[in-house]
Amino acid sequence: MFLHFKNPDTTGHVAGDGSRQYREAIQLADQRLYLLLEMLRSYGWNDTAVLLTTDHGFNGVYHSRNAGRIVFNTWIAAHNVALTTDHIPLRTAADYCASQQVPADCLANGPEVPMPAEDAVPNIILTSLTPTILDMFGVEWRTTAPLIHAESLYQP
């Protein structure tokens, strides 16, 4: 099952990531997620795996941060499934430059501002979900789907 809680994303873009409206939208989505988990429990589906993710990060109302950097990284949480980022490298200066408005200028001249410490996290991007889910179901994708350029987070 795939559920998309659109309201927090829309509200974040309209009101900003620090707004009261954004916090309220997140709280409402959290309450609905809780109801979903309670419903699964009531039907005896206590072992159901649930993955929760964002489609992108935020800065104010934008997908970008200082110097026009696009936020590629995502946030992923899991219930009843083990995920690990131990094998995922931290974001590098090259990743930082790749997210600039003009990556070639950044690579040639260096970034306009140093990479913020909060960006030195495992370089998880949204495309990590597909290999993670395929691994959860035991589907071989590394040799049959070579177009997937992401790492699985699944830990059996």
Per-residue pLDDT tens over the stretch 33-68? 999 999 999 999 989 999 888 777 666 666 655 544
In contact, 129 and 53? CB cutoff 8 Å: yes
5 in any annotated domain: yes
User: What is the Cα–Cα distance from 77 to 74, expressed in whole angstroms?
Assistant: 10
Instruction: Please determine, for residue 28, whether its predicted confidence score (pLDDT) is greater than 90.
Output: yes
DSSP state of 86: T
Amino acid at 58: F
Looking at the structure, do residues 108 and 43 belong to the same domain, yes or no?
A: no
In this predicted structure, what is the pLDDT of residue 42? Answer: 97
139 in any annotated domain: yes
43 in any annotated domain: yes
Q: Where are the alpha helices (DSSP H) in the chain?
A: 6-15, 20-42, 93-98, 103-109, 129-136
Looking at the structure, do residues 146 and 109 belong to the same domain, yes or no?
A: yes
In this predicted structure, what is the pLDDT of residue 105? Answer: 76
54 in any annotated domain: no
Looking at the structure, do residues 22 and 64 belong to the same domain, yes or no?
A: no
Query: Confidence band (pLDDT; 50, 70, 90) for 76?
Result: confident
Span 20-37, average pLDDT: 93
**Per-residue model confidence as pLDDT tens digits over 91-120:** 777 776 776 667 787 777 666 666 677 767
**Per-residue model confidence as pLDDT tens digits over 129-154:** 889 999 999 998 888 766 787 889 99
53 in any annotated domain: no
Looking at the structure, do residues 26 and 63 belong to the same domain, yes or no?
A: no
Looking at the structure, do residues 42 and 65 belong to the same domain, yes or no?
A: no
pTM of the model: 0.69
Looking at the structure, do residues 87 and 155 belong to the same domain, yes or no?
A: yes
Looking at the structure, do residues 139 and 65 belong to the same domain, yes or no?
A: yes
Span 86-92, average pLDDT: 83
In this predicted structure, what is the pLDDT of residue 19? Answer: 92
Q: Kindly provide the b/e burial profile for residues 81-108, where b requires at least 16 CB atoms within 10 angstroms of the residue's own CB.
A: bebebeebeebeeebbbebbeeeeebee
Amino acid at 91: R
Which residue segment(s) compose the domain that 63 sits in?
Answer: 59-71+82-156
76 in any annotated domain: no
Nearest to 32 by CA among 3, 74, 75: 3
77 in any annotated domain: no
Looking at the structure, do residues 32 and 63 belong to the same domain, yes or no?
A: no
Looking at the structure, do residues 66 and 129 belong to the same domain, yes or no?
A: yes
For residues 5 and 145, the model is more confident at: 5
